[in-house]
Structure 1
Amino acid sequence: MKMTIVLSVLSLLFLKVCIGQDYYFPKKNDVWETSNQSSQSFNENRLEEAVSFAKDNEYSGSRDLRIAILKGFEREPFHEILGPTKKRGGPAGMILKNGYLVTSWGDTKRVDMTFSVTKSFLSTMAGLAEDKGLINSTTDKVIDYIWDGTFDGAHNSKITWEHLLQQNSAWSGELWGGKDWADRPPSEGGIDDWKFEKPKEPGTIMEYNDVRVNVLAYSLTHVWRKPMPMVLKENIMDKIDASTTWRWHGYHHAWTEVDGLKMKSVTGGGHSGAGIFISAEDMARFGMLFLNDGKWRDQRLISEGWIQKAITPSKPNNNYGYMWWLNKQGSRHWEGLSENIYYAAGFGGNFIVIDKENDLVVVTRWLEPKKIAEFMRLVNRSLN
């Protein structure tokens, strides 16, 4: 009798491994379902402690994001607002277990700027391009696809798609009025030092730089021959039953022409305004797609191969893949948490955290950025 029970349990475990975790995926406009089984995976008191922590540690910058942006990047020469901004709401977030809602706080339907979380969406546009054969490989040189002068010269012609995705391209130039050398300059030196510094060799040093990210967005617009918001809508957001409220903006003057059509080239963040404006619930849907290895229910949207590439550490930075942050050992490591966690992160404390080992997606908005590791440890501690 006991042997039969043990064998049955082992069979169920084997079956779960073979067919994968049974996740819940909400339909369009559904109220997000809860599950007693998922909720029972948490200690209620400790979970409330984590939520209270998120509420009590709101991002300290102004809720008028135009002011917060100008203050946050005041050291950059020539920095200005070039795209739309929006006053933000208060702290908000969701914790999902197996796709079911365990808890939420704040207004999860409110549409807010999401800043560099946009980069993880942009990375996915590159993944779709490779999956569909528009790009043969991320190791290809971009100049073989974009021949309009953007990648001309001895230096820029070396740059690959992977270099752009890992933010180690050291692309040199100007796009939409943004100068690569003026974006997040070093802590030491003056304008002449930054401006005339010799560019790094592509692939050797990660430099977080929105001008270069916007070069990726521009390049993908020409490869797809479509605006990135349309590509995202048709290939991802419509298929994950996202709301109709999200938007992806570019700078006011960032127009290009493809096939005789004028189209907007969007940004990969809100550094000078623009980027993706989105609700916590739509962010959670995007997170669920990655938790389930690129499938929404039974429909494959992104290849598993791409996701594995996207979350592989780059050589210059062990904590960064293809525009996803990785919880590996390094300067961004969250001590005491799984090294397999990866996440999208944006200015002002916007995060989509994927914890595959615990079947969790955690979305938190307007959390003081330095508090994210402590918050995630509280979430982890609340698991039974």
Structure 2
Amino acid sequence: MRTPFLILIGLFLALTVKAQGVNYFPARNADWVTRSPEEVKMEATAVNQALAFALQNEYSGSRDLRIAILKGFEREPFHEILGPTKKRGGPAGMILKNGYLIASWGDIQRVDMTFSVTKSFLSTVAGLAADRKLIESTSDKVDSYIWDGTFSGEHNAKITWEHLLQQTSDWSGELWGGKDWADRPPREGDLDDWKFRKQNEPGTVMEYNDVRVNLLAYSLTHVWGKALPAVLRTELMDPIGASTTWRWFGYENAWTEVDGVELKSVTGGGHSGGGIFINTLDMARFGLLFLNEGKWEGKQFISSAWIQKATTPSIPNPNYGYLWWLNTKGERHWEGWSESLFYAAGFGGNFIIVDREHDLVVVTRWLEPSQIEEFMKILRKAF
């Protein structure tokens, strides 16, 4: 017969598990434990419809990603392939509920480019630096850490870590041969006018720009004093049981010296090649860590305080935080889903979606990007 004290302990543990939401974490190299939709109170028909939709709406660009990249950014002056690329596979993805695998499609073990999903990994490396006080505050000016002239000048000297993380810096310069003004210029108007335009005050206008994201990676490489892939591997990916197959690349010429050691400075995407090459399973682990507020099997690997900051809307763009997209009200809001939902997004339909309301993680690969909202609309019916 159980004593009242033991009953209270049991009730407390049950409530704790319920409050945490996620109660399963896959072991390294083990098969992911599955549950049927019905077992986690989801409607199987809607889940199957979402899966079929993903398979029927493959990204329309070439499977030869070198061709797709050059086509996708053909309007940019001076654009060229500077880092590794890889031919992609077909549509793939996973749906997790409370950590359990509810559905998957395609080859989830295949390593593919992930493009700007890399940005959310880069944001996390910045978060690890902040947690360890290598960066005292994201409101600090970057030139107090990086004093090699990269942030010199009246405008660039004002830039803070937060400006880089929210893509609101309007940094001006050239890095690894990439010119800031030549990255995603306006579709209309004279390029010379754009090149010599008046700069926006840092923090006032968001502009999606890979040169400036690569600048963040460069700056973090100097702060850490080591290559960022090694940081991500030892601090996060190995502890959460990720495979050894993922890689993070930079451009061929992107070398910098730190303490007498030549280090490769990686990219925040695959705009000109490079970025993180990873399989769907490892993407799902990363999403599951964020769903569980930075904890994995009870151990805190990145602080919940950082995750809160990273998923707080910036003033210039309510749908963007620290290199994460947010489902707050705005142009990118998905109707019917909680405003607490956030996601990493990359060229070609690569997504890691974290929905705290339903303890849900969704990963898609090579889904036509314009169809992600419809995919999520179909999946919403499962609840």
Give the Å deviation of 1:34: 1.0
Q: Which residue does the alignment assign to 2:348?
A: 348
Give the Å deviation of 1:173: 0.2
Equivalent residue letter for 1:361: V
Q: Which residue does the alignment assign to 1:82?
A: 82
Whether 1:181 aligns to 2:185 is no
Q: Which residue does the alignment assign to 2:302?
A: 302
Give the Å deviation of 1:306: 0.2
Q: Name the CA shift for 1:20/1:230 in 2 (closer, same or farther; >3 Å).
A: same
Equivalent residue letter for 2:326: L
Q: Which residue does the alignment assign to 2:139?
A: 139
Is the 8 Å Cα contact of residues 38 and 102 (structure 1) preserved in structure 2?
no
Equivalent residue letter for 2:362: V
Q: How does 1:2-21 map to 2 (within 5 A)?
A: 15-16=15-16, 20-21=20-21
Name the TM-score, length of structure 1 as normaliser. Answer: 0.95
Q: Distance in 2 between matches of 1:12 and 1:259?
A: 51
Is the 8 Å Cα contact of residues 58 and 368 (structure 1) preserved in structure 2?
yes
Q: Which residue does the alignment assign to 2:120?
A: 120
Q: How does 1:196-211 map to 2 (within 5 A)?
A: 196-211=196-211
Q: Distance in 1 between matches of 2:31 and 2:14?
A: 33
- Once the two structures are superposed, residues 132-178 of structure 1 have per-residue CA deviations (whole angstroms, 9 ceiling, x without a partner) of 01000000000000000000000000000000000000000000000
Q: Distance in 1 between matches of 2:68 and 2:290?
A: 30
Q: Which residue does the alignment assign to 1:148?
A: 148
RMSD across aligned C-alpha pairs, in angstroms? 1.7
Q: Distance in 1 between matches of 2:77 and 2:294?
A: 40
- Once the two structures are superposed, residues 324-354 of structure 1 have per-residue CA deviations (whole angstroms, 9 ceiling, x without a partner) of 0000111111122211110000000000000
Q: Distance in 2 between matches of 1:122 and 1:102?
A: 28
Q: Distance in 1 between matches of 2:44 and 2:334?
A: 23
Q: Distance in 2 between matches of 1:199 and 1:338?
A: 35
Is the 8 Å Cα contact of residues 22 and 359 (structure 2) preserved in structure 1?
no
Give the Å deviation of 1:380: 1.5
Is the 8 Å Cα contact of residues 168 and 206 (structure 2) preserved in structure 1?
yes
Is the 8 Å Cα contact of residues 156 and 171 (structure 2) preserved in structure 1?
yes
Is the 8 Å Cα contact of residues 94 and 280 (structure 1) preserved in structure 2?
yes
- Once the two structures are superposed, residues 281-317 of structure 1 have per-residue CA deviations (whole angstroms, 9 ceiling, x without a partner) of 0000000000000011111100010000000000000
Is the 8 Å Cα contact of residues 39 and 102 (structure 1) preserved in structure 2?
no
Is the 8 Å Cα contact of residues 175 and 211 (structure 1) preserved in structure 2?
yes
Q: Distance in 2 between matches of 1:76 and 1:122?
A: 24
Give the Å deviation of 1:16: 3.8
Give the Å deviation of 1:14: 8.0
Q: Name the CA shift for 1:53/1:36 in 2 (closer, same or farther; >3 Å).
A: closer
Q: Distance in 2 between matches of 1:361 and 1:103?
A: 11
Q: Which residue does the alignment assign to 2:104?
A: 104
Whether 1:248 aligns to 2:248 is yes
Equivalent residue letter for 1:100: Y
Is the 8 Å Cα contact of residues 294 and 302 (structure 1) preserved in structure 2?
yes
Q: Distance in 1 between matches of 2:263 and 2:89?
A: 30
Q: Which residue does the alignment assign to 1:218?
A: 218
Q: How does 1:355-366 map to 2 (within 5 A)?
A: 355-366=355-366
Percent identity between matched residues is 69
Q: Distance in 2 between matches of 1:164 and 1:36?
A: 42
Q: Distance in 2 between matches of 1:276 and 1:18?
A: 34
- Once the two structures are superposed, residues 96-149 of structure 1 have per-residue CA deviations (whole angstroms, 9 ceiling, x without a partner) of 000000010000000000000000000001000000010000000000000000
Q: Distance in 2 between matches of 1:170 and 1:248?
A: 25
Is the 8 Å Cα contact of residues 38 and 100 (structure 1) preserved in structure 2?
no
Q: Distance in 1 between matches of 2:366 and 2:147?
A: 40
Give the Å deviation of 1:20: 2.1
Q: How does 1:152-163 map to 2 (within 5 A)?
A: 152-163=152-163
SS in structure 1 of the partner of residue 357 of structure 2: helix
Give the Å deviation of 1:37: 7.5
Equivalent residue letter for 1:70: L
Equivalent residue letter for 2:360: L
Q: Distance in 1 between matches of 2:38 and 2:124?
A: 29
Q: Which residue does the alignment assign to 1:279?
A: 279
SS in structure 2 of the partner of residue 358 of structure 1: coil
Is the 8 Å Cα contact of residues 37 and 102 (structure 2) preserved in structure 1?
no
Give the Å deviation of 1:248: 0.0
SS in structure 2 of the partner of residue 373 of structure 1: helix
SS in structure 2 of the partner of residue 135 of structure 1: coil
Give ranges in structure 1 of 5+ residues lacking alignment. Answer: 1-6
Is the 8 Å Cα contact of residues 44 and 382 (structure 2) preserved in structure 1?
yes
SS in structure 2 of the partner of residue 357 of structure 1: coil
Q: Distance in 2 between matches of 1:162 and 1:40?
A: 39
Give the Å deviation of 1:61: 0.5
Q: Name the CA shift for 1:346/1:39 in 2 (closer, same or farther; >3 Å).
A: farther
- Once the two structures are superposed, residues 180-220 of structure 1 have per-residue CA deviations (whole angstroms, 9 ceiling, x without a partner) of 00000012212211211121110000000000000000000
Is the 8 Å Cα contact of residues 247 and 277 (structure 1) preserved in structure 2?
yes
SS in structure 1 of the partner of residue 23 of structure 2: coil
Whether 1:311 aligns to 2:311 is yes
Equivalenced residues, count: 376
Equivalent residue letter for 2:223: V
Name the TM-score, length of structure 2 as normaliser. Answer: 0.95
Q: Distance in 1 between matches of 2:269 and 2:52?
A: 28
Shifted more, 35-44 versus 167-176: the winner is 35-44
- Once the two structures are superposed, residues 61-80 of structure 1 have per-residue CA deviations (whole angstroms, 9 ceiling, x without a partner) of 00000000000000000000
Q: Distance in 1 between matches of 2:105 and 2:250?
A: 30
- Once the two structures are superposed, residues 217-270 of structure 1 have per-residue CA deviations (whole angstroms, 9 ceiling, x without a partner) of 000000000010000001011001100000000001100000100010000000
Q: Name the CA shift for 1:13/1:271 in 2 (closer, same or farther; >3 Å).
A: same
